[in-house]
C-alpha cells in the first residue's frame, strides 16, 4: 500500500514535470539550421545534450560527460520564468542573473527537497563555470547557436547588426571549455565574414 509521504513525493515530481513542459514554449532568437523557424528552449537543451556526447573527445581529459549532459538538461529551465536572454543585448544581459536566480528558487523548489538540491547544484555549477564539466557545457551552449547562425547565412547576426568582434568575444567561452571547438568556432566566424554573412 502506498503511504502518504510517497504520494506527496510523487505529486511534487508530477508538478515539476508539468512545469518544465513550459520550456517548449520559450522561443529563442536563432533559427533551426534549415531556416524554417526559430528554435525553442527544449529543442536547444536536447541538442546541446546530444552535442556533449558527440563531442566528448573534445572535452578536457577526465571530464564526466554524463554530468555535462545532466547540466545541459537543466541549464535553461530558469527561462520558463526569466525568458531567453539574447547575448548581444547588454540591457537584457545586465538583468539576467537576478531574474534567473529567482526563477531557479521557484522552479527547483517544486521538487522533493533531495531532488531539488541535486538539480539546483547542477544549475549552480553550470553558472559558476568552475569545473571542467561546467566549462565544457557552457562551451557547447555557445557553440550551438554559432553553428546555427553559420548554417543559416548569418541567421540572427545581420538582423541584430552583430559584428565579428562581438561573436569572437563569445567564442572565448567556447575556447575556455574546449580549445579544439573554440578553434573551429573562430574558423566559422572568419568564413562567415568572408561570405558576407557577418560584419567585420
**Helical (H) or strand (E) element with 124:** helix 113-128
Distance (Å, whole) CA 109 – CA 115: 9
pLDDT tens, position by position, for the chain (200 residues)? 455 578 899 999 999 999 999 999 999 999 999 999 999 999 999 999 999 999 999 999 999 999 999 999 999 999 999 999 988 888 888 999 999 999 999 999 999 999 999 999 999 999 999 999 999 999 999 999 999 999 999 999 998 899 999 999 999 999 999 999 999 999 999 999 999 999 98
Query: What is the SS3 assignment for 31?
Result: strand
pTM of the model: 0.93
Where are the domains positioned within the chain? Answer: 4-194
The owner of cell 541535486 is 118
CATH annotation of 4-194: 1.10.3210.10
Q: Smallest Cα–Cα separation from 138: which of 171, 104, 105? A: 171
Amino acid at each position: 500500500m502506498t503511504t502518504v509521504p510517497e504520494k506527496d513525493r510523487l505529486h511534487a515530481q508530477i508538478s515539476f514535470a508539468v512545469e518544465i513542459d513550459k520550456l517548449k514554449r520559450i522561443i529563442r532568437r536563432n533559427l533551426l539550421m534549415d531556416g524554417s523557424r526559430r528554435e525553442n528552449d527544449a529543442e536547444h537543451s536536447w541538442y546541446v545534450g546530444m552535442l556533449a556526447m558527440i563531442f566528448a573527445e573534445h572535452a578536457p581529459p577526465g571530464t564526466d560527460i554524463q554530468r555535462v549532459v545532466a547540466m545541459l538538461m537543466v541549464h535553461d529551465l530558469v527561462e520558463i520564468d526569466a525568458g531567453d536572454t539574447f547575448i548581444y543585448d547588454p540591457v537584457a544581459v545586465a538583468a539576467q542573473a537576478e531574474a534567473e536566480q529567482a526563477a531557479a528558487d521557484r522552479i527547483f523548489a517544486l521538487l522533493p527537497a533531495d531532488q531539488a538540491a541535486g538539480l539546483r547544484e547542477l544549475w549552480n555549477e553550470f553558472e559558476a563555470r568552475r569545473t571542467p564539466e561546467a566549462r565544457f557545457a557552457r562551451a557547447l551552449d555557445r557553440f550551438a547557436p554559432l553553428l546555427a547562425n553559420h548554417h543559416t547565412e548569418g541567421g540572427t547576426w545581420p538582423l541584430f547588426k552583430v559584428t565579428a568582434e562581438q561573436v569572437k568575444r563569445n567564442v572565448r567561452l567556447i575556447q575556455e571549455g574546449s580549445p579544439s571547438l573554440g578553434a573551429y568556432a573562430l574558423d566559422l566566424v572568419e568564413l562567415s565574414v568572408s561570405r558576407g554573412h557577418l560584419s567585420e
